[in-house]
Amino acid sequence: MEKKEIRKEIFQKRAQLTPEIIHTGSHEICQKIIQSEDFQKAPCIYVYMDYNGEVSTRELIEEAWKQKKRVAAPKVNGADIDYYYIHSYEDVAPGYFHIPEPITTEQAFEENALVIVPGVAFDSKCHRCGYGKGFYDRYLSLHTKHRTIAVAFDFQVVDAVPSDAHDILPQMLITPAASYFAQ
């Protein structure tokens, strides 16, 4: 399937999720990440602000704050994303396509941060189908030292995601039922 068809299919499935399913699946994913060596060693977490049925990152953000880790969230600046530190949920407001974005001005430049990567769909080799704007591919192609973990519900793992030369694979994908590693 083409990425456009994959997006359509996954968005239809995601629209049927109940708040309970989102909460339970997100909790299972977040617990796996929190227990991971990558999270434990990271001084800073770059994490997306979930929106519209995505895996909730709230538990990760709150645990990072609890452990005194720095937390930064992405903000769209033209064709790119940049990360800005957030210290509470009052530091974000609806931005690009109504997705919560930082309203703070302190830009994060930590190359050793753990990046939590969203996506519409993935395959078992960690090929990623994003939202189609290439924000994460461009960012990660310029910032190659980050550890990257993608998160998804199990239904978001499909047989195969078409891959282009410019696509950047997350090093790991975590779902409630499994963990996959880039190949």
Percent of the chain with pLDDT over 70: 100
Phi, psi of 45 (to 5 degrees): -115, 125
Global pTM value: 0.97
> Is residue 32 predicted with pLDDT exceeding 90?
yes
What's the CA gap between 165 and 183, in Å, rounded?
14
Task: Give the model's pLDDT for residue 135.
Answer: 96
Sign of CA dihedral 115, 136, 182, 157: positive
| Domain tally, the chain | 1
In this prediction, residues 18-38 reach a mean pLDDT of: 98
In this prediction, residues 52-71 reach a mean pLDDT of: 98
Task: Give the model's pLDDT for residue 78.
Answer: 95
**CATH number, position 18:** 3.40.50.10420
Q: Model confidence over 112-150: pLDDT tens digits?
A: 999 999 999 999 999 999 999 999 999 999 999 999 999
Q: Model confidence over 35-52: pLDDT tens digits?
A: 999 999 999 999 999 999
Q: Which helix (H) or strand (E) holds 41?
A: helix 37-41
Residue 13's Cα: distance from chain center in Å? 19
Mean model confidence pLDDT for the chain: 97
Cβ distance 54 to 29 under 8 Å?
no
Task: Give the model's pLDDT for residue 165.
Answer: 85
Q: Whole domain around residue 17: which residue ranges?
A: 3-181
Q: Model confidence over 140-178: pLDDT tens digits?
A: 999 999 999 999 999 999 999 999 888 999 999 999 999
Of 8, 122, 135, 147, the C-alpha closest to 55 is: 122
Pairing mode, strands 128-129 and 70-77: unpaired
